[in-house]
């Protein structure tokens, strides 16, 4: 851009600032963009918010996520430093750019969610050893209150700015259940829901769907598969409780019933799935 053109553009911008005018033309140096006409058939690139944990500490997380293999938009420390009374969160990728955090993924019919999501990594070690209790399940590192507070503030801002529906706030295990288990059963989904982020079933509706049923009783595999497919999971509806189906059931349970995520088809899981459909997909 020539000096005269640059000075003219700066002057016009200054006039607009002073007079509160709205320009409809943008001089981009080699052409002028006229922005008077606006298409109605358009929406944001951002349609999903995906939650992760890092499995390593803060320094290691930042080193990996700024390297050559993977990336993410935001990293929430487990102990965020506070500046001017607010938590500091790392932003590694601009929101208008694709980050490589979701991998091969699917949700509500959309695939390759890297192209249509914002990813948040939470500094958390995930599984931290085997416990000796029933089933020998993993112990998991908890998410500290300060981290949850920072995550809520970040997530509320993102879903508000992009109008992301509750059922499109998901975990990595929801969108890639055959290969991922993060953000794990201790992730604060209910706290996020209470803050206005993400989905959660109404307790009264779950109870109504459980009337006369033992919560642990076996339920119809195909029926649960179909409900989870309607909700958003990539799952077969063949009625077969194979390893792939169990991993999807487990991902769903880890999200909405973290006390038991063994991957069984049981009455309580069926009631939770139906309650979610009643609430978010009634039409």
Domains and CATH numbers, the chain: 3-34 (no CATH), 48-194 (3.40.80.10), 203-280 (1.10.101.10)
CA distance 26 to 12: 11
At 33-58, the pLDDT tens digits run: 999 998 887 677 899 999 999 999 99
83 is annotated as an active-site residue: no
At 152-206, the pLDDT tens digits run: 999 999 999 999 999 999 999 999 999 999 999 999 999 999 999 999 999 999 9
Residue among 121, 134, 137, 268 flagged as catalytic: 121
Chain Cα centroid distance, residue 25: 37
Q: List Cβ<8 Å contacts ≥24 apart for 223-230.
A: 223/270, 224/249, 224/265, 224/269, 224/270, 224/273, 227/270, 227/273, 227/274, 227/277, 228/252, 228/273, 230/277, 230/281
pLDDT of 246 higher than 70: yes
Instruction: Give me the helices (H) in 232-266, please.
Output: 243-256
pLDDT of 138 higher than 70: yes
């Amino acid at each position: 851009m020539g000096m005269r053109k640059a000075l003219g553009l700066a002057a016009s911008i200054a006039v607009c600032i002073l007079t509160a005018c709205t320009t409809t033309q943008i001089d981009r140096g080699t052409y002028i963009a006229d922005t008077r006409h606006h298409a109605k058939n358009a929406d944001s690139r951002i349609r999903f918010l995906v939650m992760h944990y890092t499995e390593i500490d803060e320094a290691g997380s930042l080193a990996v996520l700024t390297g050559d293999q993977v990336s993410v938009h935001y990293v929430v420390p487990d102990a965020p430093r506070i500046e001017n009374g607010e938590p500091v969160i790392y932003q590694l990728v601009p929101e208008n750019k694709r980050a490589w955090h979701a991998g091969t993924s699917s949700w509500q019919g959309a695939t390759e969610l890297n192209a249509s999501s914002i990813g948040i990594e939470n500094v958390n070690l995930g599984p931290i050893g085997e416990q000796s209790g029933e089933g020998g399940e993993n112990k998991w590192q908890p998410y500290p209150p300060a981290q949850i507070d920072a995550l809520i503030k970040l997530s509320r801002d993102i879903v508000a700015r992009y109008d992301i529906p509750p059922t499109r706030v998901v975990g990595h295990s929801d969108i890639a259940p055959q290969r991922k288990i993060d953000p794990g059963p201790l992730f604060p989904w209910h706290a996020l829901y209470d803050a206005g982020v993400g989905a959660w079933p109404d307790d009264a509706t779950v109870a109504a769907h459980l009337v006369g049923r033992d919560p642990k009783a076996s339920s119809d595999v195909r029926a649960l598969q179909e409900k989870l497919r309607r909700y958003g999971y990539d799952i077969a509806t063949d009625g077969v409780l194979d390893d792939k189906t169990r991993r999807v059931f487990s991902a769903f349970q880890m999200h909405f019933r973290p006390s038991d995520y063994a991957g069984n088809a049981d009455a309580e899981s069926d009631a939770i799935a139906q309650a979610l459909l009643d609430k978010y997909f009634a039409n």
